[in-house]
Structure 1
């Protein structure tokens, strides 16, 4: 679906456009959660459930966008300002799943 030229022009260059639930989103969410470690493609496959054959292409596309980095066999989250808001969103989402939605026990 096309968008208007005004929306096109107003889109910030720094926006991180990764749709929730997609394979790139799942890889980024995993790497953000473990930002102090680097993983092989096999480990990412095992931890995210993404098909082994798809992990490499996802990582390559993310690397092209500057969102992940790798050295040898290992991949890690990149140091990119766009990822700060993504990490904050992940933390908020994670916290909301552990909140007590039922409030205090009623006696």
Structure 2
């Protein structure tokens, strides 16, 4: 694995001020990743559950972020899987706004 794609992993932090108003702050971390296509079984299993798998990324640094950005496109991380020591496979779907 070459980890040749630069991606951004995003966490949305929601805070409530003293007046009860909420605000959302994005905490971004840039990491290197490998992008893969979804495997056939993974694609069809997700599709039968009503989930559209768009891409799969492998990264070394992951801390339970929920959003992934690659080439200005936002994805929801729908599944994270620890492949080996320090490697995580992130299954993503197109982000619905």
For the aligned pair, the TM-score class normalised by the smaller chain equals under 0.3
Using the size of structure 1 for normalisation, the TM-score is: 0.26
Using the size of structure 2 for normalisation, the TM-score is: 0.28
User: Greater share of helix residues, 1 or 2?
Assistant: 1
User: Greater share of strand residues, 1 or 2?
Assistant: 2
